[in-house]
């Protein structure tokens, strides 16, 4: 007997067939485990070597000595012997003030001095004569007293005139203004012909000593104990804004007070500057080596992971990953000095670590096989 199926019945049989096939393939899939492919990672070894803890800081250049030249007389500027920015030596003439009146007073005082000297000779002879006559009982005591007073007065007049001459010579010397230090002159603030006074607030010119020169460096407070312990060994490299090395020097002093707002203290480096590459007021980049560690454990920075539990690294041991905590003492751009359960030669994952977990098997990149 031939069975004739209607169109709805054919649709039902087709759906049942698809369901059976789906259940069959699901059964096969559950019966076979997925194939685990070890992730590929890159590694780098832990090294043991000497390292220097370096800080990248900012420094401000300042003159080792600075003198604001001012007049010590009320006078007029008669000559100017320097130009703006001139290099001067100690004792070089800078300005000449009008000293004609002082020199006239000096001549007058020197004439008075000669008169005083003549008077003291006359008074001394009379004093000595009256003293001898008094011993013999010829001269009255009042006569000796008078000659004594005259002699003492002549001595006082001579001393006063000598003091006046010394004062005038000093003032004449003040009129001849010289540089008290070696250095570089700034711009001349008060020019030829102007009248200057002792109490003027403005200086004639400022002389800055630039060789040697100082660089003041702001050091964060947390490094103070390390710097203090290694003070005599501290070295600094000075760079300009283009990264060019300008100078190498040492630390000369540590400021005796912390900046309470910035929590920093100032280190002062002293540098030779005969070539004038550094100039007062400049800002420079400073690399300060504060500590040298011998035979330190050094890990690549790419291997260090910062987590809530601290710094950690993935170590590969016989193709298996181990997670190890480390303490970073200090770091450069590419390496870190660490403490932890590591030794020289241990291989740490530097690339591909996001795809691994502790206990997993990994495959080292062919480029990293040694």
- pLDDT tens, per residue, the chain with 370 residues: 455 556 665 565 566 666 666 666 655 555 555 556 788 889 999 999 989 888 999 999 999 999 999 999 999 999 999 999 999 999 999 999 999 999 999 999 999 999 999 998 998 888 778 777 777 776 677 777 788 888 899 899 999 999 999 999 999 999 999 999 999 999 999 999 999 999 888 899 999 999 999 999 999 999 999 898 888 888 899 999 888 999 999 999 999 898 888 899 999 999 999 999 999 999 999 999 888 889 999 999 999 999 888 999 999 998 899 999 999 988 888 899 999 889 999 999 898 877 888 888 988 886 654 4
H/E element, 170 = helix 141-175
Q: Are residues 288 and 299 located together in one domain of the fold?
A: no
Residue 179 exposed, middle or buried by CB count within 10 Å (0-12, 13-18, 19+): buried
Note whether residue 283 is domain-resident. yes
Q: Are residues 147 and 80 located together in one domain of the fold?
A: yes
Note whether residue 27 is domain-resident. no
CATH number of the domain encompassing residue 112: 1.10.287
C-alpha 257/C-alpha 263 separation (Å) is 10
Note whether residue 274 is domain-resident. yes
CA proximity to 361, closest of 324, 320, 323, 322: 320
Q: Are residues 283 and 338 located together in one domain of the fold?
A: no
* β-strands 40-45, 363-364 pairing: parallel
| pLDDT tens readout for residues 82-112 | 999 999 999 999 999 999 999 999 999 999 9
Which residues fall within 8 angstroms of residue 205, CB to CB, at 6 or more apart? 69, 82, 94, 185, 186, 187, 188, 189
Total tally of structural domains belonging to the chain? 3
Domain-ending residue, one of 293, 318, 344? 293
Q: Are residues 276 and 187 located together in one domain of the fold?
A: no
Q: Are residues 301 and 346 located together in one domain of the fold?
A: yes
* 308's tokens: 């809530």
C-alpha 179/C-alpha 181 separation (Å) is 6
* β-strands 183-185, 87-88 pairing: antiparallel
* 194's tokens: 């102007």
C-alpha 215/C-alpha 340 separation (Å) is 38
| pLDDT tens readout for residues 324-352 | 999 998 888 889 999 988 999 999 989 88
Q: Are residues 180 and 104 located together in one domain of the fold?
A: yes
Note whether residue 266 is domain-resident. yes
Cβ atoms < 10 Å from Cβ of 214: 24
Q: Are residues 242 and 352 located together in one domain of the fold?
A: no
Domain-ending residue, one of 202, 221, 244? 202
CATH number of the domain encompassing residue 317: 2.40.420.20
Q: Are residues 181 and 90 located together in one domain of the fold?
A: yes
Note whether residue 4 is domain-resident. no
Q: Are residues 237 and 311 located together in one domain of the fold?
A: no
CATH number of the domain encompassing residue 241: 2.40.30.170
Q: Are residues 220 and 187 located together in one domain of the fold?
A: no
Note whether residue 182 is domain-resident. yes
Domain that holds residue 225: 55-63+209-293
Note whether residue 28 is domain-resident. no
* β-strands 195-196, 40-45 pairing: unpaired
Note whether residue 229 is domain-resident. yes
Q: Are residues 118 and 232 located together in one domain of the fold?
A: no
DSSP 135: H
Q: Are residues 135 and 185 located together in one domain of the fold?
A: yes
Domain-ending residue, one of 293, 324, 347? 293
CA 107 to chain centroid, in Å, comes to 54
274 φ/ψ angles, rounded to the nearest 5 degrees: -65, -30
Contact in structure between 183 and 210 (CB atoms under 8 Å): yes
Confidence (pTM): 0.71
């Amino acid at each position: 007997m031939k069975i004739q199926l209607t169109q709805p019945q054919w649709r039902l049989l087709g759906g049942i067939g698809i369901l059976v096939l789906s259940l069959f393939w699901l059964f096969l899939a559950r019966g076979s485990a997925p194939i685990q492919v070890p992730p590929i990672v890159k590694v780098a070894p832990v090294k043991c070597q000497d390292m220097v803890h370096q800080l990248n800081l900012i420094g401000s250049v300042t003159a080792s000595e600075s003198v604001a030249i001012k007049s010590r007389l009320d006078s007029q500027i008669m000559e100017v012997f320097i130009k703006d920015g001139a290099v001067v030596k100690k004792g070089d003439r800078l300005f000449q003030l009008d000293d004609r009146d002082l020199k006239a007073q000096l001549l007058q005082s020197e004439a008075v001095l000669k008169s005083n000297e003549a008077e003291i000779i006359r008074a001394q002879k009379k004093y000595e004569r009256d003293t001898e006559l008094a011993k013999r009982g010829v001269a009255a005591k009042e006569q000796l007293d008078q000659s004594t007073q005259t002699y003492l007065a002549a001595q006082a007049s001579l001393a006063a005139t000598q003091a006046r001459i010394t004062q005038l010579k000093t003032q004449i010397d003040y009129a001849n203004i010289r540089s008290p230090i070696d250095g570089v002159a700034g711009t001349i603030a008060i020019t030829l012909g102007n009248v200057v006074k002792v109490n003027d607030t403005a200086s004639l010119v400022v002389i800055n000593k630039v060789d040697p020169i100082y660089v003041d460096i702001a050091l964060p407070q947390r490094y103070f104990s390390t710097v203090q312990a290694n003070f005599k060994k501290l070295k600094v490299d000075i760079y300009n804004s283009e990264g060019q090395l300008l100078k190498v020097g040492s630390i000369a002093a540590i400021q005796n007070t912390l900046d309470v707002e910035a929590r920093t203290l100032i280190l002062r480096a002293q540098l030779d500057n005969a070539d004038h590459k550094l100039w007062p007021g400049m800002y420079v980049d400073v690399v300060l080596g504060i500590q040298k560690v011998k035979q330190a454990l050094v890990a690549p920075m790419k291997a260090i992971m910062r987590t809530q539990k601290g710094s950690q690294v993935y170590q590969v041991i016989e193709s298996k990953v181990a997670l190890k905590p480390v303490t970073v003492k200090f770091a450069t751009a590419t390496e870190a000095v660490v403490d932890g359960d590591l030794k020289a030669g241990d291989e740490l994952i530097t690339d591909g670590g996001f795809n691994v977990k502790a206990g997993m098997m990994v495959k080292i990149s062919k480029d990293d096989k040694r």
